[in-house]
Amino acid sequence: MTPLLVALLCLQDDPVFEKDVEYGKGGGEPLTLNLARPKADGPPRACVLLIHGGGWAAGRKEVHDAQIRELARRGYVSATIGYRLVPKAVFPAQIEDVKCAVRFLRAHAQTYGLDPGRIGAVGYSAGAHLSMMLGVMGKDDGLEGEGGWADQPSQVQAVVAFFGPTDFVNVDFPDASRRIVERFLGGRREEHPEIYRKASPITYVSAGDAPMLLIQGTKDALVPHDQAFRMAEAMTAAGVPGRVDLLIGAGHGWGAPEAQRTADLTFAFLAERLRTK
């Protein structure tokens, strides 16, 4: 095979990439996402959203550009979402924004060649929390915001959550993450019990919610691993399918070889749960 032919084949595999697509408004400011999709035409494709972490106060959507390109090569439409951050915006701004992104993608399903009935979310840390909120909250649960596309539903059909908090009400967080949570939720739990309840994914778990894969280390210094257990118990009681992958001795994130194994696990779960019916 000649170098020119190799280069042409690589170009054919390279997905369409769109940067800083405005998906709505938050606090009067534009909200943007980056999007990747296969070049080839075909039937509507499943869509996967990537949501970055950073304690709801930091992080950039661009950190997941390589992942959405990889998902596009695997046949998905995929987007990495920017959202408003603490301290300029506190809860529920972040969940309003990611809900808006889901609604935008559904409203533009024909434009991007995606199937509005097969949308998944993958998140890390704070992004995992937001992903789980997308999996358990229907429109009637509120927190939709006013970002746009109000006629579209915002709930997704599958979730992969890497070391994300599930219950702010019944668990005492370590000091380092407790302060992060307090900044996100605008004060201490004793001061705002209803906000803490509304911000907890576990509050909304009910039959018919998105299947979830929860991936968690047992030595996570920020998110205690019993957060995953609590979510699994709530899902079990409601009959929501899914699984927990527990990494013994791992912290708040990990490197090789577990990074590749959990990535492969994610791809397999998405393929299983977002396959064409």
DSSP letters along 98-152, please?
Answer: HHHHHHHHHHTHHHHTEEEEEEEEEEETHHHHHHHHHHH--GGG----SSS-TTS
CATH code matching the domain that covers 18-273, chosen among 3.40.50.1820, 3.30.420.40, 3.40.50.2000, 3.40.50.1110: 3.40.50.1820
State the pLDDT at residue 3.
Answer: 38
Q: What is the DSSP letter of 251?
A: B
The one-digit pLDDT tens for each residue of the chain (277 residues) are: 443 333 334 444 789 999 999 999 999 999 999 999 999 999 999 999 999 999 999 999 999 999 999 999 999 999 999 999 999 999 999 999 999 999 999 999 999 999 999 999 999 999 999 999 999 999 999 999 999 999 999 999 999 999 999 999 998 899 999 999 999 999 999 999 999 999 999 999 999 999 999 999 999 999 999 999 999 999 999 999 999 999 999 999 999 999 999 999 999 999 999 986 4
Q: What is the DSSP letter of 165?
A: -
Q: What is the DSSP letter of 28?
A: T
Encoding tokens for residue 162?
């890497």
Do the bridges between strand 29-37 and strand 16-26 make them parallel or antiparallel, or are there none, so unpaired?
Answer: antiparallel
- Assign 21 to helix, strand or coil: strand
Q: What is the DSSP letter of 117?
A: E
Calpha distance 53→17 (Å, rounded): 22
State the pLDDT at residue 6.
Answer: 36
- Assign 208 to helix, strand or coil: coil
Q: Is the dihedral of CA 107, 110, 116, 118 positive or negative?
A: negative
Among 73, 12, 24, which residue's Cα sits nearest to residue 48?
73
The predicted model scores a pTM of 0.94
Calpha distance 90→56 (Å, rounded): 8
State the pLDDT at residue 14.
Answer: 87
- Backbone phi, then psi, for 261, in 5-degree steps? -65, -45
Among 235, 118, 119, which residue's Cα sits nearest to residue 166?
235
CB atoms within 10 A of CB 49: 29
Kindly state the helix (H) or strand (E) to which residue 22 belongs, with its residue range. strand 16-26
Q: Which residues pair with 16 in a beta bridge?
A: 37
User: Domain ranges in the chain?
Assistant: 18-273
- Assign 164 to helix, strand or coil: coil
Q: Could you tell me the CA-to-CA distances from 126 to 55, 120, 133 in Å, in that order?
A: 5, 17, 11
Backbone region of residue 276 per phi and psi (left: phi > 0; alpha: psi in -120 to 50; beta: other values)? beta
